[in-house]
């Protein structure tokens, strides 16, 4: 052995280093636990709490409270999910309101039908009972009963036909045949068809065309029916020796066809309901009406994207207007 090196250290230094290491280890564990606790709170606030809010909102919706919302606003996937859920809740709320509206309409419809059928059925039943029991033997009186029953039967037939027509038009699956046609020709035909009825009441139908020929894509029969319904109402409610005015003109970017009369109009509070089913005046002038004509006219107009509107002063003026947008019709030429 040429050289030897001897190293030594006191035991106290090793023990001190061990204690320091343990202290550092405990400190690191404590910091790690604290960080884990803080991160868990953050995760709960950022993920679990929004999911609970979404779940509570969904439970409220399932319970029938369609005003519930998640109230979660975050710029991440959970926020995107909450936004979609809120939009879904809005759509469900709209669907529920529409369902309630349809249910109310169905109830009103059944009520109105029952009311409309009650009178003619009662009259028919009473007349038949009188005739069956032989309480009337005079031929003239019997003829009056027969005429009354025939009148009520005609009213029932018209009511049933109008109901079927309205039901078909309201069915979105019911297709109408649309072809290129001239609205001026349809209007002329409708005016000609009403001439005989108007002459019986000594009413003049004045037609003034300022728009010339109007090209339009629609169903000829349905559009003619729409104009006839409004013309029939105008003639029906006009006093004798009056004028029913029919005009076609252009206003800015629209084609407008109007039918006006000088008969008794609608009260201001009645105007929003003139196109509702069975909303009609029960008078001698309208004793044969079914209360569905204007509803049918409105359905035909809506199926053709035509805006129909009514103006009236409740005294001596009523005007129904049909507004055709420029993209739906264009001028072919001036007569």
65-94 confidence digits (pLDDT tens) = 878 888 777 787 778 888 888 888 888 888
d(CA 283, CA 289): 10
Pick the closest to residue 302 from 320, 329, 322, 319 (CA basis).
322
SS3 state at 320: strand
DSSP 284: S
- Of 205-214, 269-278, 323-332, least confident by mean pLDDT is 323-332
Q: Which pLDDT band, with edges at 50, 70 and 90, does 10 fall under?
A: low
pLDDT value for 285:
46
In this structure, are residues 326 and 313 in contact, taking their beta carbons and an 8 Å threshold? no
Residue-wise pLDDT for 148-179, tens only, equals 888 778 777 777 776 777 777 766 666 777 88
Residue-wise pLDDT for 32-48, tens only, equals 998 888 887 777 666 77
CA dihedral defined by 41, 44, 50, 56, rounded to 10 degrees? -120
The mean of the pLDDT values for the chain is 78
Burial group, residue 41, by CB count within 10 angstroms (0-12, 13-18, 19+)? exposed
What value, to the nearest 5°, has the Cα angle with vertex 289 and ends 287 and 291?
125
Q: Which pLDDT band, with edges at 50, 70 and 90, does 333 fall under?
A: very low
Q: Which pLDDT band, with edges at 50, 70 and 90, does 273 fall under?
A: confident
In this predicted structure, the answer to whether residue 288 has a pLDDT above a threshold of 70 is: no
Q: How many CB atoms lie within 10 A of CB 34?
A: 10
In this structure, are residues 155 and 124 in contact, taking their beta carbons and an 8 Å threshold? no
């Amino acid at each position: 052995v040429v050289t030897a090196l001897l190293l030594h250290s006191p035991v106290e230094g090793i023990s001190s280093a061990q204690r320091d290491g343990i202290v550092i280890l405990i400190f690191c564990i404590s910091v790690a636990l604290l960080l884990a606790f803080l991160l868990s709170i953050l995760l709960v606030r950022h993920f679990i709490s929004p999911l609970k809010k979404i779940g509570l909102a969904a439970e409220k919706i399932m319970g029938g409270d369609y005003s519930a919302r998640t109230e979660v606003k975050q710029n991440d996937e959970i926020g995107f999910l909450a936004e979609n859920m809120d939009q879904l809740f809005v759509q469900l709320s709209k669907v529920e309101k529409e369902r309630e509206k349809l249910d109310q309409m169905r109830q009103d419809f059944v009520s109105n039908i029952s009311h409309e059928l009650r009178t003619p059925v009662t009259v028919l039943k009473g007349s038949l009972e009188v005739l069956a029991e032989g309480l009337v033997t005079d031929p003239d009186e019997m003829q009056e009963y027969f005429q009354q029953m025939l009148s009520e039967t005609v009213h029932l037939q018209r009511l049933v036909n109008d109901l079927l027509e309205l039901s078909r038009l309201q069915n979105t699956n019911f297709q109408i045949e649309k072809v290129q046609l001239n609205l001026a020709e349809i209007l002329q035909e409708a005016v000609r068809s009403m001439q005989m009825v108007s002459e019986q009441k000594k009413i003049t139908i004045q037609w003034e065309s300022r728009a010339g020929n109007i090209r339009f894509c629609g169903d000829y029969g349905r559009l003619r029916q729409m104009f006839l319904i409004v013309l029939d109402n105008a003639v029906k409610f006009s006093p004798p020796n009056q004028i029913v005015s029919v005009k076609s003109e252009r206003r800015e970017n629209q084609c407008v066809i109007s039918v006006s009369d000088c008969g008794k109009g609608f009260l201001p509070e009645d105007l929003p309901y003139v196109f509702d089913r069975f909303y009609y005046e029960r008078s001698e002038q309208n004793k044969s009406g079914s209360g569905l004509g204007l509803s049918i006219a409105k359905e035909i107009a809506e199926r053709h994207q035509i805006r129909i509107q009514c103006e009236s002063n409740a005294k001596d003026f009523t005007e129904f207007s049909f507004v055709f947008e420029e993209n739906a019709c264009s001028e072919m030429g001036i007569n």
